[in-house]
Amino acid sequence: MAHARLVAERELAAAVDNPIVLPSGEVRSNGNFHGAPVAYVLDFLAIAAADLGSIAERRTDRLLDRNRSHGLPPFLADDAGVDSGLMIAQYTQAALVSEMKRLAVPASADSIPSSAMQEDHVSMGWSAARKLRTAIGNLNRVLAVELYAATRGIELREGLTPAPASRAAIEALRAAGVEGPGPDRFLAPDLAAADAFVREGGLVAAVEPVTGPLA
């Protein structure tokens, strides 16, 4: 992310690309249209997002697998064998991560000449930005599902006292309207509330008073 920010700041400050952003904030069209450096880092961020999403999904899968969860009920279900628990939530994660892997294919590597060969090699930066925006939205949802599963797992683990930051996260998530363990219910409202909680900075705001500023 630091590398991508550095490249973006350099390109915005450069006078050899299009458009030129003047100190006044005015944006002027210029004649050099190639934005490959920005396209490259947008693609790079999509790759990193897909990797992080894949890691989060695998952690959720471990929480739901009775063979690897060290005593948690299968699928974190209230009545294992009858209830589905969070099985479908992990399906949602898997679908989102699968799409993120496809979105990680670089747009900047693909360019097709057009206009009777007058428009030749282009950066494809706009396509890279569009798919990155989708990937980031997916990543937020994937992390929200992991948070939802992790907090339920902690609350189902008998005799476990959460660390102070974990306790703060759980309390803030519950205050945001995301319910804790219980019988099967329609999960969409809980997952939507968890998604908003992560996207709007609720998770970071809950733990930073305990941990200090997060890098």
pLDDT in tens, 70-112: 999 999 999 999 999 999 999 999 999 999 999 999 999 998 8
| Residue 211: φ, ψ to 5° | -90, -20
Query: What is the percentage of the chain residues whose pLDDT exceeds 90?
Result: 80
**Confidence at residue 28, expressed as pLDDT on a 0 to 100 scale:** 84
Q: What is the largest CA-CA distance in the chain?
A: 72
CB 78 within 8 A of CB 179: no
Structural domains of the chain, count: 1
28 in a structural domain: no
Supply the range of the domain harboring residue 134: 33-110+122-211
For 110, counting Cβ atoms within 10 Å of its Cβ (0-12 exposed, 13-18 middle, 19+ buried), the class is exposed
| CA atoms of 97 and 55, how far apart (whole Å) | 10
**Strand, coil or helix: 155:** helix
The answer to whether the CB of 58 falls within 8 A of the CB of 65 is: no
In-domain check, residue 17 = no
**55 lies in some domain:** yes
pLDDT value of position 31: 58
Cα 43 from Cα 112, distance rounded (Å): 18
CA distance 86 to 152: 10
Q: How far is CA 6 from CA 15, 31, 68, 196, in A?
A: 16, 23, 41, 29
CATH of the domain at 51: 1.20.200.10
Percent pLDDT > 70 in the chain is 97
Q: What is the C-alpha radius of gyration for the chain, rounded to an integer number of angstroms?
A: 22
Q: Kind and range of the H or E element at 38?
A: helix 36-64
Dihedrals phi, psi of 119, to nearest 5 degrees:
-105, 105
pLDDT tens digits for range 33-72:
678 999 999 999 999 999 999 999 999 999 999 999 999 9
| Distance, CA of 41 to CA of 90 (rounded, Å) | 30
Residue 18's pLDDT band (cuts 50, 70, 90): low
Q: Is 49 contained in some domain?
A: yes
Whether 15 is in a domain gets the answer no
Tokens linked to 198: 């992560």
Q: What is the mean pLDDT of residues 134-142?
A: 98
Tell me how crowded residue 38 is: count the other CB atoms within 10 A of its CB. Answer: 22
Domain membership flag for residue 13: no
pLDDT band at 115 (very low <50, low <70, confident <90, very high): confident
Q: Is residue 130 part of a domain?
A: yes
Task: Compute the average pLDDT of residues 14-24.
Answer: 77
Report yes or no on 2 lying in a domain.
Answer: no
pLDDT of residue 159: 84
The confidence score (pLDDT) of residue 201 equals 97
- Cis amide bond preceding 19, omega within 30: yes
Residue 28 backbone dihedrals phi, psi, to 5 degrees: -120, 140
